[in-house]
Chains A and B, each alone.
Chain A
Amino acid sequence: MATFTDGHLDDLRRRLRSEHIGSIEVRDVFVERRFDAEGVEYVQVTLVVSEPRAGQQTWPVNDAFELRQRVRWTAAEVGIPVDVSITITSAGEADTQDDEEDDDAGGQDPGTGVHW
């Protein structure tokens, strides 16, 4: 089993930080080792990118596809031998509206008052 070090992850992070594909600019990169439900190690890459263009609700699918491909090629180039999972997000607001009474995951159902 091939191994890799934190140096490989730093290298990957550094090389992805200045990526720019189509309308998407990478602003920050988070890279971490994780294990899936079967205990298999993988690398989670989270790309924090520029906001979608004005008037657009999200990024172009094609740009996102090319960015993910770039991440996989770069990971292979720096010698990361495990799967790389890629998440594309941005630093802005989540744009969601959650019910405050649901904040406690072990709390009551506000509709019925039943604990679950």
Chain B
Amino acid sequence: MSAREIHPYELLRLAERLVPADVGRGKPRTVELRRGVSTAYYALFHELIWQATRELVGDEPTAKIQRYKASRWIAHAEVKELAKAASGASPTSALASVLGPVDQRLARVAEAFVTLHEERERADYDHEYDIKRRDALLLIATAREAVDTVRLLRKESEVSFTRFVKLMVAVKTAKKR
């Protein structure tokens, strides 16, 4: 088997090709703006999944299949719930109480996730989504900054970030509390 993994930075580069900052390459179509926004969201989603599954089952090459399987346990809406707690948008939730104090950089990643999730919903399903090139560029830049920040927090083993990615598989349980 030689299947290629999903790489968050490849997704970001694809989004940037779909919505070029340089207009010299021609104006994009609206469908490209939609796909660019959606792809940028998926870059951040997959980055967080990668970090969560490496915490769960390890990042050794031999644990690859276990990581892939565990990655399917993580649902978009549940990560959004957790991100809302981390961003301060739902400070009284059960998730927020377990998460505890959050590093400001993580709060910013969380806000980016909530924003990109909402915009991706509109980009994928809302026929009335009136998106412009500069709007899409902002969202793609937001995703790139968030992915870079995730890598930095991971490198530092920042405590609230580690707790956040571990909690990504526990959202369903927390919502019942």
Contacts and interface: CB of A to CB of B under 8 A. Distances in A.
Contacts of B103: none
Contacts of A68: 111, 115
A86 interface: yes
B134 A58 contact: yes
Contacts, number: 80
B30 A88 contact: no
B29 A96 contact: yes
A95 B27 contact: yes
A72 B110 CA distance: 14
Contacts of B67: none
Interface residues of B, number: 34
Contacts of A99: 29
B33 interface: yes
Given A57-B21, A68-B111, A96 B134 contact: no
B132 interface: yes
Interface string B18-31: 00010100111111
Given A96-B30, A97-B26, A61 B138 contact: yes
Interface string A76-93: 000000010111111011
A31 interface: no
B114 to A, nearest CB: 9
Nearest to B138: A58
Say whether chain A's binding surface is mostly helix, strand, loop, or mixed: loop
A22 interface: no
B29 A97 contact: yes
Q: How large is the interface on A (under 10, 10 to 19, 20 to 34, 35 or more residues)?
A: 20 to 34
B27 A86 contact: no
Contacts of A59: 134, 138
Contacts of A114: none
A92 B26 contact: no
Interface in B114-131: 115, 118-119, 121-122, 125, 127, 130-131
Contact of A98 (B23, B29, B84, B89): B29
A69 B138 contact: no
Given A58-B141, A94-B30, A98-B31, 14 more contacts: A58-B134, A61-B141, A61-B142, A69-B111, A72-B88, A87-B122, A89-B130, A90-B132, A90-B135, A96-B29, A96-B33, A96-B133, A97-B28, A97-B29
Interface of B: 21, 23, 26-31, 33, 84, 87-89, 108, 111-112, 115, 118-119, 121-122, 125, 127, 130-135, 137-138, 141-142, 145
21 contacts: A52-B134, A57-B23, A57-B137, A58-B138, A59-B138, A61-B138, A64-B142, A68-B111, A85-B118, A86-B115, A86-B118, A88-B135, A89-B130, A90-B134, A93-B132, A94-B132, A94-B133, A95-B132, A96-B29, A97-B26, A97-B29
